[in-house]
Amino acid sequence: MSKRIVVAGSLNADLTIYCERLPAPGETLHGRGFAVNPGGKSANQAVAAARLGALVTLIGAVGEDANGDLLVASTAGAGVDVSHVHRIAEPTGVAVISVEDSGENSIIISAGANGTLSPAAMDPALFAGAGVVCLCLEVPLATVHAAAAAGHDAGATVLLNLSPYAPVPDGLARLTDVLLVNAHEASAFLGGFSLPAPAAAADAWRGAGEEFARRGLHKVLVTLGSSGSVVLDAANAAEPVVRIAPTRVDAVDTTGAGDAFTGAVAARLAAGDSLAAAARYASVAAALAATKKGTQAAYPSAGQVAAKLRAVETDIRP
């Protein structure tokens, strides 16, 4: 029986322009279409997990505006409990997104209501019985810390997606059970240490795992885009590194694929999977998410992930 997931964090309206290629600095380009999509890393992660069958509570804030209506409708429509998404006077957070034909994107966010989500909203009662608490850095760091503390005290696995990147205070690192980073975030977190190439052997990645462990993070998932992902578990002497192969798809829009990965990891950890098993599953969910435009509307069901998992090889052997 899966335990409940609490996602505490951001909801954004994604103002998205599709274009042939991303503009260079100072350049103006013609786009190929525009859409306002429901987004925000936390809302996306909540929807991704719910689509996969998880029970999810989302804690966040949106404005009393049309974008807020869009986000509440999308998350609730996926089955997420939105009774702790507060409607406030500040406008809903927005993301301005460009997506080029290759599926690659660039994103700038403006926090709006997300910036007002306070530590006081992290009522410990909301975390009771949770199996996983899922966090990102699109809301104030003090709020992320309060949610991590509430999750930790409730005995939940605290999963921190270090995006957008910010240095992690020691107190938050101590409360984090699993860190989820892409290659940029991993390099920034590790400071002077240079991350192995994606295709490097497991031995090279073990060194990275030890560097994370030295900074207090023992279980780390590093996503590597089209090169797959790596699971680092410094405390697991038998298997300190698992390299997950990329799932090959025709990518249309990679926006929110990382959130599909995070939400799927949360869903599988809440169901009792090991970290490596959760990452294998999430890799497929994220790849499927990139095959359609938008974020939440593109996220796969458990049946779709299961069918794809049967058809792909997930592990890269040393």
Interface residue with ligand RIB among 103, 246, 258, 263 (CB under 6 A) is 258
147 half-sphere exposure, CB direction, 13 A CA radius: 30
| Phi/psi-derived region of residue 112, left when phi > 0, alpha when psi is between -120 and 50, beta in every other case | left
Nearer to ligand RIB, 177 or 259 (CB): 259
Is 250 among the catalytic positions? no
Interface residue with ligand RIB among 22, 107, 173, 251 (CB under 6 A) is 107
Interface residues for ligand RIB in 17-76 (CB under 6 A)?
39-41, 44
> Of these residues, 153, 259, 273, 315, which one is catalytic?
259
Residues binding ligand RIB: what is the number (CB under 6 A)?
16
* CA–CA gap between residue 33 and residue 55 (Å, rounded): 35
Q: What angle do CA 15, 21, 24 make, to 5 degrees?
A: 90
The site string for ligand RIB over 126-165 (x = CB under 6 A, - otherwise) reads ------------x---------------------------
Runs of H (alpha helix) within 52-177: 66-77, 141-153, 170-175
Nearer to ligand RIB, 252 or 277 (CB): 252
Nearer to ligand RIB, 12 or 57 (CB): 12
Q: At what angle do helices 275-289 and 257-270 cross, to 10 degrees?
A: 150
* CA–CA gap between residue 241 and residue 198 (Å, rounded): 13
Torsion of Cα atoms, 172 then 176 then 180 then 186, to 10°: 50
Least distance to ligand RIB from the beta carbon of 37, Å? 7
- 3-state class (DSSP) for residue 62: strand
Interface region with ligand RIB, contact rule CB under 6 A, candidates 172-180, 194-202, 209-217, 251-259:
251-259
CB of 95 closer than 8 Å to CB of 108: yes
Nearer to ligand RIB, 196 or 256 (CB): 256
Is 211 a binder of ligand RIB (CB under 6 A)?
no
Q: What angle do CA 62, 302, 105 make, to 5 degrees?
A: 50
Q: Exposed, middle or buried by CB within 10 Å (0-12, 13-18, 19+), for 22?
A: middle
* CA–CA gap between residue 97 and residue 101 (Å, rounded): 13
Least distance to ligand RIB from the beta carbon of 92, Å? 11
Interface residues for ligand RIB in 281-310 (CB under 6 A)?
295
CB of 220 closer than 8 Å to CB of 193: no
Least distance to ligand RIB from the beta carbon of 291, Å? 16
Least distance to ligand RIB from the beta carbon of 63, Å? 15
Interface residue with ligand RIB among 249, 259, 260, 308 (CB under 6 A) is 259
Least distance to ligand RIB from the beta carbon of 280, Å? 21
Interface residue with ligand RIB among 255, 269, 275, 280 (CB under 6 A) is 255
Interface region with ligand RIB, contact rule CB under 6 A, candidates 49-57, 178-186, 219-227, 256-264:
256-264
CB of 208 closer than 8 Å to CB of 186: yes
Nearer to ligand RIB, 189 or 299 (CB): 299
Runs of H (alpha helix) within the chain: 41-51, 66-77, 141-153, 170-175, 183-190, 202-214, 257-270, 275-289, 302-311
Q: Closest residue (Cβ) to ligand RIB?
A: 39
Under the rule (CB under 6 A), what is the footprint of ligand RIB? 10, 12, 14, 39-41, 44, 95, 107, 109, 138, 255-256, 258-259, 295
- What residues are labeled active site? 259
